[in-house]
Chain A
Amino acid sequence: MCGIAGRILALPGLIGADLVELIQAQRHRGADSTGFGMYGEPRSDGYMVRVVADRDDLSDHLETFLDIARAHGADYIGDPTWDDATTDHVSVRLVLSNPASSFERWLADADFIDGFEIQSVGRSLEIIKDLGDGYEVADKHGIRNFVGTHGLTNARMATESFVSPTASHPFWARPYPDVAIVHNGQLTNYYLLRDRLRRAGYTFKTDNDSELIAIWLSDQMANGLTIEQSLTDSVTKLDGCFTYILATIDSMAFAKDPFAIKPLVAVEEVDGTMAVATEEQAVRKIYVDDDDLAGKAMVNYDGPSLTGVWPVPARTAAIAGAGVGA
């Protein structure tokens, strides 16, 4: 079943805390694993890398990772950090300077460390996902303290692949920095499209149908389609039932299948602040009563083949500003 949610803040704030409440309210839709994809202040240089690794082999893996980075002319910016839980797996955060060779060549090498799986790479995006419900994952990884402008989250009930931190959502659109998706539903033709993208050189790290959506959309956009065109195309090219939320460094977006099975409801404010979720009771965690909703629109995106884009005001303003300055 799965529950999904997203949040945009007009100004940077405690995006993590809001996402935790949005997803915990949908815990009953799937609590085997929960994930968060959050966008902080973008770095002008270097990348945040989020990894899930085998805890026992962590120091060896970090050494290998650093060797590979240095071979590509990159280095750590600050020391890696990781959670101090006792689970077999560990979540690691690294900040890496720009690879001097090329981003893709560095990633291709870094991606082949067995037991050290990259979950996201971005100037702004950090994906943290783990087993358990929203509060368990939030407590373990300090999600509530994350400051940012936007993000998405998923409570997973596994249907198409096994339960593990890496097979849960959000999925990063490897190798495109800062692109992530969460998905509610099941795809039936993902393996065909995945084969096609693999032949084109893309790497898939799981058997999860949802990983396809992130990479497929990014490939469309890399081929020159706008985000709106990619969303519209996905409605007919992806087969199955789906409502997904896509996030990029400066926008969030959604699309849903022609049978309109999976609901989606959003509260949209005039300044661009937005909360969206599978169930209305989730957005009610932020907008509790009618007073909270005064002057804001609550929109049920329940119809067939719907798509939409929400710009992130803080990022689009920054880009516009940069444009004027240039």
Chain B
Amino acid sequence: MTANERTEVTVEVAERPIREINAEIRAAAADGHAVRVTDTRSRHNLGVALPEGAVVTFEGSVGYYCGGLNDGATITVERNAGWGTGEAMASGRITVEGYSGMSVGASMRGGLIHVKGDSGPRCGVAMKGGDIVIEGDLGFLSGFMAHDGRIIALGDAGEATGDSLWGGEVWVAGSIKSLGVDTNVVEPEPDQVAALNVLLADLGLESADRDWKRIVSGQKLWHFESRDASAWLMI
């Protein structure tokens, strides 16, 4: 099959069973077709566990866990996404053109999630690798207990940003409403900014004049002592 033969296939969601829809998306992707998913109605579990090379566009809002367990697919959501978008993804790219929902990129291990709107609370919770770029504002408690990877917000960050980070980094270009416990804000090194700009340039988002705050783990949680427990109470 040549590239010219790889036409776009349309899969309709409406009220049909999700298993049937996902099987059709997977079959079309396996045949080398790009897939356009229509009438999505914010339903859950769309495009879960898509394989390397799949190109899937959701023509509307999706519900929970869209693109979860992604392993190399390129996924676009043309409106908003729900809870757990891209949860535990290993590789590939997810673009959300609207609002990301809660816990976007939870436990992700690799790949890129690009949100053009704002993120909900707990963006990148427990993430183990990969990058999340939020063009808008970063929600409450983002980066909570992340181990590795980067969360990059071009807008402002909400309350408790980077709370209980074990590793990884949260980059914020705008203001930060409040920092979470056990976080340090450090001056980024020029080579770190350069590396970040390579990623942002790929998304058409590079800019030389951003006032980056780079938030990393304070590393006290690495050696937790029960007598210090009161320091971890947020409220």
A interface residues with partner B (beta carbon < 8 Å) = 236, 258-260, 263, 279-281, 283-284, 288-290, 298, 300, 302-304
Residue of chain A at shortest CB distance from B121: A260
Q: Using C-beta atoms within 8 Å of the partner chain, give the interface range for chain B.
A: 20 to 34
Interface contact A281-B60, CB-CB below 8 Å: no
5 A-B contact pairs sorted by A residue (CB < 8 Å):
A260-B102, A280-B42, A281-B63, A283-B42, A289-B60
Interface contact B141-A260, CB-CB below 8 Å: yes
Expressed in whole angstroms, the Cα–Cα distance for A298 and B81 within the complex equals 13
- Minimum CB–CB distance from A273 to chain B (whole Å) comes to 19
Interface contact A290-B60, CB-CB below 8 Å: yes
Interface contact A284-B42, CB-CB below 8 Å: yes
Which of A283, A290, A302 is in CB contact (< 8 Å) with B120?
Answer: A302
Which of A281, A298, A300, A302 is in CB contact (< 8 Å) with B41?
Answer: A281
B interface residues with partner A (beta carbon < 8 Å) = 39, 41-44, 60-61, 63-64, 79-80, 82-83, 99, 101-102, 120-121, 139-141, 158-159, 234-235
Interface contact A303-B60, CB-CB below 8 Å: no
Task: Give 4 closest A-B pairs by Cβ, nearest first.
Answer: A280-B42, A281-B42, A302-B120, A284-B41
Given known contacts A263-B102, A288-B41, A289-B60, is B82 in contact with A302 (CB within 8 Å)? no
Q: Given A260-B141, A283-B42, A300-B80, 11 other A-B contacts at CB below 8 A? A: A258-B235, A260-B102, A279-B42, A280-B61, A280-B80, A281-B41, A284-B42, A289-B39, A290-B79, A298-B80, A302-B102
Expressed in whole angstroms, the Cα–Cα distance for A289 and B12 within the complex equals 13
Given known contacts A263-B102, A281-B41, is B80 in contact with A304 (CB within 8 Å)? no
- Minimum CB–CB distance from A260 to chain B (whole Å) comes to 5
Expressed in whole angstroms, the Cα–Cα distance for A298 and B64 within the complex equals 17
Expressed in whole angstroms, the Cα–Cα distance for A260 and B42 within the complex equals 21
Expressed in whole angstroms, the Cα–Cα distance for A269 and B128 within the complex equals 41
Main secondary structure, interface of A, reads loop
Residue of chain B at shortest CB distance from A290: B60
What A residues does B99 contact at CB under 8 A? 300
Expressed in whole angstroms, the Cα–Cα distance for A263 and B63 within the complex equals 12
What A residues does B64 contact at CB under 8 A? 279
What B residues does A302 contact at CB under 8 A? 101-102, 120-121, 139-140
- Minimum CB–CB distance from A159 to chain B (whole Å) comes to 19
Given known contacts A263-B102, A289-B39, A300-B120, is B140 in contact with A280 (CB within 8 Å)? no
- Quick one: which of B39, B121, B159, B234 has the most chain A CB within 10 A? B121
Expressed in whole angstroms, the Cα–Cα distance for A289 and B40 within the complex equals 9
Expressed in whole angstroms, the Cα–Cα distance for A214 and B140 within the complex equals 28
What A residues does B39 contact at CB under 8 A? 289
What A residues does B82 contact at CB under 8 A? 279-281
- Minimum CB–CB distance from A317 to chain B (whole Å) comes to 32
What A residues does B159 contact at CB under 8 A? 304
Interface contact A263-B83, CB-CB below 8 Å: yes
Given known contacts A258-B235, A281-B41, is B63 in contact with A303 (CB within 8 Å)? no
What A residues does B141 contact at CB under 8 A? 259-260, 304
Expressed in whole angstroms, the Cα–Cα distance for A259 and B64 within the complex equals 19
Interface contact A280-B63, CB-CB below 8 Å: yes
What B residues does A304 contact at CB under 8 A? 121, 140-141, 159
What A residues does B60 contact at CB under 8 A? 289-290
Given known contacts A300-B99, A300-B120, is B140 in contact with A260 (CB within 8 Å)? yes
- Minimum CB–CB distance from A286 to chain B (whole Å) comes to 11
- Minimum CB–CB distance from A24 to chain B (whole Å) comes to 12
What B residues does A290 contact at CB under 8 A? 60, 79
Expressed in whole angstroms, the Cα–Cα distance for A263 and B121 within the complex equals 10
Residue of chain B at shortest CB distance from A285: B41
Expressed in whole angstroms, the Cα–Cα distance for A284 and B235 within the complex equals 35
What A residues does B83 contact at CB under 8 A? 263
What A residues does B101 contact at CB under 8 A? 263, 300, 302
Expressed in whole angstroms, the Cα–Cα distance for A195 and B223 within the complex equals 40
Expressed in whole angstroms, the Cα–Cα distance for A71 and B63 within the complex equals 55
